[in-house]
Each structure stands twice: as C-alpha cells, then as structure tokens.
Structure 1
Amino acid sequence: MSKPELEMITGMTWGWTGVRGTWEGPDAEHSMNEMAKLNVGWAGITLGAMQATAQSTEITYWQEPTVTDGEVRAAIRRAKELGMKVVMKPVVNCADGTWRAHINFFDMDIPGEPTWSQWFASYGKFILHYAEIAEQEGCEMLCIGCEMVQTDKREAEWRALIAEVRKVYGGLITYNCDKYQEGNVKWWDAVDIISSSGYYPIGEWERHLDRIQEAVSPYEKPFFFMEAGCPSREGSPLRPNDWSLPGAPSGEAQKSYYEAMFSACEKRGWVRGFMLWDWPARLYGEEDAAANDDYCMYAKPAAAVVRDYYGRI
C-alpha cells in the first residue's frame, strides 16, 4: 500500500476508564513504570466521560467520575519522562451501561426530540477541551473518537469537528473505528492515520487483514490498531472482544492469542503497530496475576511476548 511512512507504534492503552483520583500517586507511578518495561514506546492516555444514556445530548466531562485535567496532565508528563510518546484518547461512555456504539438519533433533526446537532455540539466541546490539553502538553497524537459505530455515518459532522480540532491541535489525528467497521467510514481522508479495534478471533486474522487492507488502501494513509488484545481467560482467543465471556483464568490462552496476532500482523508492512488493550492505573499484585482474567498482561505469560515483539519491531 502506498502511504506516508509512520514509525512502528509500540503502544499500550493506559488508565482506562480514568476514574477521578486514580491517575496520580504511587500506584499510578508504579503502573506506568511497569508498563514501560515492556518496551512500550507510546502511551495511550485514555479516559472516559459520561452521558446519561445513548440518546442523551450532554457529555459531562468536567464531572466525576472523569479524571481531572490536572491528573491528565500529570499522566502525560509522566509518560514523557519515561521516554514515551503520547496519544490523547478521550472516550464517551453511557452512564446506564449502554455501549457507546449505540449512541444514535433520528437522521433528521426533529423538534422536541434529541438530535444529532445537539449531540455533536456537546461532543465537539468535549473533544476540543482535550485537544487543547494535548496541544499544550505536546501529545504526538489525538484520537477523536472510539467505536462510535452509529455516528460513523454522520460524515459532515465528523469532517466539521476535525476541521475545528485542527485549529487548536497541530499533532496527528486519528479515529478509532470499531472492529469490522474499517470499510464503513467514508471520511478517512480527513484524518492523518486510520485506526481500528483489532479484536479478531485467533484463527481469523489473515482474512481480516486482507479485508482491512482492501478497505483502507484507497486512502493512502498509515494504519494501526488503536486497540487490540485478549483477556487471560479460557475461550477468549475465539472471542477477544467479549470482556464478560465466562471462563477460567488462563495466562496461556492470552499468550497464544498475542503470538498469533503478532505473527499475522508482522507480515503486513502496512500495519504500523498497536495500542494494546490495556494497562490500568492501579495494577493488581504480581502474586494475583495467575487469578486475574482481564486484558492486562502484567506479570502474565503474554507480557514476555509483548516485550520481545516491541523490542524488535
């Protein structure tokens, strides 16, 4: 694929969901120090802000539980002190538990009903707020949205938002589409880098990489996986996107997934890396790693796979 070259992104998503009070202090410092030991060169500083439901039109990013601006700046500065580049990634969540991919409104603005215009006005303020912080703190990249499947069709609004972001932020801009959606975003030309969530079943990476390449190659933009990973749980390699899948803890299952994913992707030069999912601001104890069945690979067999792969690409 012909596209501008992008350095290999050896990244890790840090701090999700960004709960106020957790991003500063010894625990947060320990977490980032341990993350850096895996040859992580990019930190995805990732926070969540709330709207009440999927049909609400106000995103209250200044309120709890979202981390404070001071915590955001402290996390960025700590990552840079450790030699990492930073992707600033603000993400909207629904307080009632509905997945953000289902945020949706009538195609046309209808009087008396919540509208796309109202929602994008609030979402724009949210993203611009963190774009300004990203600019002030020297973040190399800004992710303007994550897995917003029902919003992807709102091309005009996304293009307008990107234009506004560029007025306050001079770094690289990406949008993190959801898995399987790489071909459904029609405004990839407006961003600098195309990215998606790579939660594909362990035996299906090759065919999905073929599909993604076909979908994104016309845009001649760099591509990487803004999210990718697998819980350390039996059965999860076959359904890595399902964080609630029942299964016993299994570090070997997670390790096998990472080996397969890296093996498939390193043969594709157009895949410029990963922002792996994920690394919390407060780690579980090393002695508890074998019983932990979440995505974080701290003190699990997959950690060595990540460290070795990131150390050589």
Structure 2
Amino acid sequence: MNYTAWAAEEYATPASDASLSFLKTIGANWVAILVTEYMDTKSATEIYADKVLTPSESSLIHVVQMAHSQGLNVMLKLHVDPKDGTWRGEIFPANIEAWFENYQGRVLHYIKLAESLGVELFCLGTELRSLSGKAFREYWERLISAVREIFTGPLVYAANWDEFQTVSFWDLLDYVGIDAYFPLSYTKTPSVEELLLAWVPWISLIETWQGEVGKPVIFAEVGYRSIDYAAREPWNWTIEGSYNPQAQANCYDAVFRAFWRRPWFAGLFFWNWQTNPAAGGSGDLGYTPQNKPAQEILRKFFGGEENPSSENLKKVTPCFWGASEEGKKRGEFCPVYERREVVHWEQSFLGKAAQSEFQNAKEV
C-alpha cells in the first residue's frame, strides 16, 4: 500500500500508528511511505521541502521505524509537485542542468536517511514523464551512480502508465515501476470478469515489453476511487460521481487475479492508505479502500484467504492469446472469451501500436 501524508508531523501521530498497525492486520507485508517535495511552478529549478506539507525528517524516522516494528518492509517513495497545479509529468524547468542538480541533492538527502533506517527499497522518482526520456539519460546516470555509492538496497522508478516504454534508464535500476492507472471499462459497475478481459491487451503489452527489458515489474501505484465508472479514468481524482464501493472492490479483485501468478510481476502498492484509521467508509469517493468493501478484498488476497491456484487462474483469469511456449505451459491461454469481445475492447481502448500487436494474437 502507498501510505500517504501531506503534513509535517502527520506520520508521527497516534492515529497514524494505529492506521499502520491495522494495515498489517489485513495481511500487507510492504508499505510505500510517501514524501512529497515542491516546486513553485513547472518551470522552476528550485525543489524544496515545504515546512507545512512535507513530512519532517523526525516523522519519517518515526513512521519507518513503526512500519518495521510491525514487520512491514518499506519502500521510501519521492514525489515532486509544482504548486501551480501542474501535474508532475509536465514539469519542464527553465534550466534543466540546475533542476537535476537540485533534484539529485534532494534524492541524496532521503537516500542517506533510507540507508540509515534500513529501508528495503527506494523509489527515486515518480511520473516525471517529461524528464525521463533519452534526452535526459545522462542526468539520471549521474544521479543513480551517486545513489549507489550510498544506498545498498534496490532501486525503482515509478513511471506513469503511458510513460514506462520510453523511460531511458531502466537498465540502471533493479525494478521497473509502473503507476498502473490503465483505462479498463466504460461500465458503471464493471464485473470482475469484464475487468479481467479488459486487462488482456495491457498484460500482453507489458509482458512483451518486459521480456525485452528483463527487469521484474512492480506496480508502484494502482488505485481506483469508489465511484461510478471507477475503471474508466483511474488516474483522474477530479471526476465527480456517485458513491460506488462495489466498482472499487471489483477493480481490486481483478488486479489481483490478473497479475497474481505472473512470473515477471514482483508486487503492487495500491493507492492509497491514509493515516486516519477512520478514513474512507460509506459515502467517501476517494481512492482509499479503508472501511469499504475493497478493504476485505485486500484482506482476502494479502492474508491468503483468496490465493488462486494455477488451475483456478485458468478458469478466471483471461491471459493474452499471443503467449510464448512457456506461457502456454503455465496456462496463459484462456478460452473463456470470444474474439469479437476482445476486438470490441481493443477498438475502444488500445493505441495503434498495441492494436497492431494484439491483432496478431490467436484464438484458442
């Protein structure tokens, strides 16, 4: 789970301790602790810890130690947000060299803290889509080299769902991170079966690409609001809608079933778990699963109550038709859905590149 706070001392409160402890009781074994730094505008070069909004160093120490005391592994995850409202994927500083120099300084600040606290995984950037391509590789090489001199644990970067194929430095990291807000359905309350079908082409795309990159994949974020049409634009936190906890729960269920046994898939962090143990609940339209039906889906899968066997996966998980020979042996052909259903989905959601690849898939 992504564990989130946007106040200096929020992670160090008794409420936060209680919320983190409860997260452990539903079977979670990892937590991504979020720390957000800020820029004044998308073109600024200065990156800074806001005295009010950024978790203080003492609160980060507290929450990491608290997580470890609960038996939770920790990923420390860095975000940078412009205060002018620009999405971080559209940051484009006026002085690229100065921005990366400042960014490296902020990363190294948290890397030293992570190493001293025994943090198990560090995410050194999130959704910096405008700054992660080939033109910027040299800056990332410099940053990652400096990080490796300090941090002995593995590294990941969290690419946006439409960015992961163009990140230029995966070879320098230990994991591929994807913020997996893939569009899946236009249905108000999509069934688990519909969502599993909707995952088919995305799984094919990710698996084919992963075979070329050769790094295990983590969903550094995946999340759904408890509203109607939750799977239509999962990334969009501004959409208005009616409370629909079942849509959220079905989306959670489908993610687990679609990726549970993928040999290249290393794990996921849902967005998000809040520091208030009473967060969420009936009427809440946000992403948290707390006190909603999705929380019980987490309990079932994290706690092992719902652990689909390979045989069950053949029955309920639609897998891509273009499977490798090894994939076929793992049961990665699924005869449940007719080709016309897949084509209808494909025409609705896929880009041209993915369509071309998926049209070559074979029916079983």
Same fold (TM over 0.5): yes
2:260 alignment counterpart: 266
CA distance in 1: counterparts of 2:115 and 2:161, whole angstroms: 29
Give the match's secondary structure for 1:64.
coil
Deviation readout 1:265-285 (Å, 9 max, x if unpaired): 124221121011101122435
Correspondence for 1:131: 111
Compared with structure 1, are the counterparts of its residues 133 and 62 closer, same or farther at alpha carbon in structure 2 (3 Å cutoff)? farther
TM-superposed deviation, 1:264: 1.3
Aligned-residue sequence identity (percent) comes to: 26
Map of 2:173 onto structure 1: 191
* Residue of structure 2 in register with 1:67 after alignment: 55
Letter in 2 for 1:261: V
> 1:155 maps to what in 2?
137
Measured after TM superposition, the shift of residue 21 of structure 1 is 2.2
> Residue in 1 aligned with 2:153?
171
Matched to 1:194, the amino acid is V
For the 8 Å contact 1:236–1:242, the answer to whether it is kept is: no
TM-score by length of 2: 0.77
Please list, as runs of the form range in 1=range in 2, the aligned pairs for 1:139-288 lying within 5 A after superposition. 139-153=119-133, 154-202=136-184, 203=195, 204-284=198-278
Distance in structure 1 (CA, Å) of the matches to 2:233 and 2:263? 25
**Alpha-carbon offset, residue 293 of structure 1:** 1.1
Deviates more, 1:30-39 or 1:50-59: 30-39
How many angstroms apart in 1 are the aligned matches of 2:210 and 2:54? Answer: 33
C-alpha distance in 2, partners of 1:25/1:211? 42
May I ask how many residue pairs the two structures share in their alignment?
A: 291
| Structure 1 segments of 4+ aligned residues over 6 angstroms from their partners | none
Question: Of the two structures, which has the highest relative contact order with CA contacts closer than 8 Å and spacing of 6 or more?
Answer: 1
Structure 2, unmatched stretches of 5+, are: 185-194, 308-364
Partner of 1:122: 102
Q: Is the 8 A contact 1:231 1:293 kept in 2?
A: yes
Query: Over aligned residue pairs, what C-alpha RMSD do you find?
Result: 1.4
Match of 1:6 in 2: none
TM-score by length of 1: 0.89
Q: Is the 8 A contact 1:55 1:104 kept in 2?
A: yes
Deviating more after overlay: 29-38 vs 190-199: 29-38
| Secondary structure of residue in 2 paired with 1:165 | helix
Q: Is the 8 A contact 2:47 2:102 kept in 1?
A: yes
Matched, 1:298 2:290: yes
**Structure 1 CA distance, aligned partners of 2:203 and 2:95?**
36
Unaligned runs of 5+ in 1: 1-11, 106-113
Query: How far did residue 133 of structure 1 move?
Result: 0.4
Counterpart in the other structure of 2:335: none
Give me the whole-angstrom Cα distance separating, in 2, the residues matched to 1:35 and 1:94. 30
CA distance, structure 1, for counterparts of residue 145 and residue 170 of structure 2: 13
Which one has the largest radius of gyration? Answer: 2
Q: Does the CA-based 8 Å contact 2:36-2:79 persist in structure 1?
A: yes
Counterpart secondary structure, 2:32: strand
CA contact (8 A) 2:161 2:182 kept: yes
| Corresponding residue number in structure 2 for 1:33 | 21
* 1:97 positional shift: 1.2
AA at the equivalent of 2:69 = E
CA distance in 2, matches of 1:168, 1:306: 35
Residues 38 and 50, structure 2, Cα contact 8 Å, conserved in 1: no
Provide the C-alpha distance between the structure 2 equivalents of 1:167 and 1:280, rounded to a whole number of angstroms: 33
